[in-house]
Amino acid sequence: MPTRTKQPGSITVICGCMFSGKTDELIRLVRRALYARKRVQVFKSALDTRTDNTVISTHDGVRFQAIAVPDARTLEALLDPRVHVVGIEEVQFFDEAIVPLCQRLADRGTEVIVAGLDQDFRGMPFGVMPTLLALAENVIKLHAICKVCGGEATRTQRLVNGRPASWNEPTILIGAEETYEARCRRCHRVRNAPIHSARGTHPMPPTRTPEVTDPRQLEMFMEPEVDNEG
């Protein structure tokens, strides 16, 4: 764990759907730190199979050196004690221990910059992302272009043999025959999706709300006035 520095640390989360430019933004912020002569380390999840284990790369082919780690514990063990800026790519793939690690780093004055998918293929919060988003000093939410309508995309469409994936499929597929597209809320499709009944989007329970049309009826719901006179 890096030693405590005088400057205040922070957590920055770069989030959005696939093809929204999260990696470009992470590389931009990390390069800026290098220009400022800060010591930088960039990590990525070993689950990210898009490139080899020593680089992160954007869809446009921009590459940056990174260390692939299987979990938060390994990441912590590889931290340079003098590091100023820690970048983490595909942070949604990490275990829950990544959250307290980011907190401890930021508490010690480290600038933590993480990039990840905020929603899974179902359009639901992805793993540790909601917690990191809540704890972050800075949130950068990026959008892509919807492959169907050309609007602003916030979701990742998973397609299996050209068909929308089913709700019950695993969140993380490695080496499967699926493809992904950026889509907007309206064009995003999930087969067998429960309607507003999933984790995080529970509909409000039905409550008996009195419908008051006549103001005099309001008195029925008010505390009775106490007569102090007499």
Binding span for Zn ion by CB under 5 A among 14-22, 106-114, 139-147, 191-199: 139-147
* Residues 29, 8: Cα–Cα separation, whole Å: 17
* 15 appears as a binding residue in the annotation: no
* Residues 95, 103: Cα–Cα separation, whole Å: 14
Q: Which of residues 163-202 bind Zn ion (CB under 5 A)?
A: 184, 187
Nearest residue (CB) to Zn ion, 40 versus 146: 146
- Helix or strand run (H / E) with residue 152: strand 152-153
Q: Give the number of residues in contact with Zn ion, rule: CB under 5 A.
A: 6
Residue 201, φ and ψ in degrees, nearest 5: -130, 40
- For the chain, the C-alpha Rg in angstroms (whole number) is 23
Instruction: Please give the DSSP secondary-structure letter assigned to residue 46.
Output: T
- 30 counts as binding Zn ion under rule CB under 5 A: no
Binds Zn ion (CB under 5 A): choice among 146, 165, 182, 190: 146
What is the smallest separation between the CB atom of 18 and Zn ion, expressed in angstroms? 14
Binding span for Zn ion by CB under 5 A among 25-33, 36-44, 49-57, 150-158: 150-158
Tell me if residue 90 is catalytic: yes
Q: Where are the alpha helices (DSSP H) in the chain?
A: 22-35, 72-77, 98-107, 129-135
Nearest residue (CB) to Zn ion, 39 versus 143: 143
> SS3 of 1, please?
coil
Binds Zn ion (CB under 5 A): choice among 148, 159, 172, 193: 148
* Residues 89, 67: Cα–Cα separation, whole Å: 10
Residues involved in catalysis: 90
Residue ranges that bind Zn ion, judged by CB under 5 A: 146, 148-149, 151, 184, 187
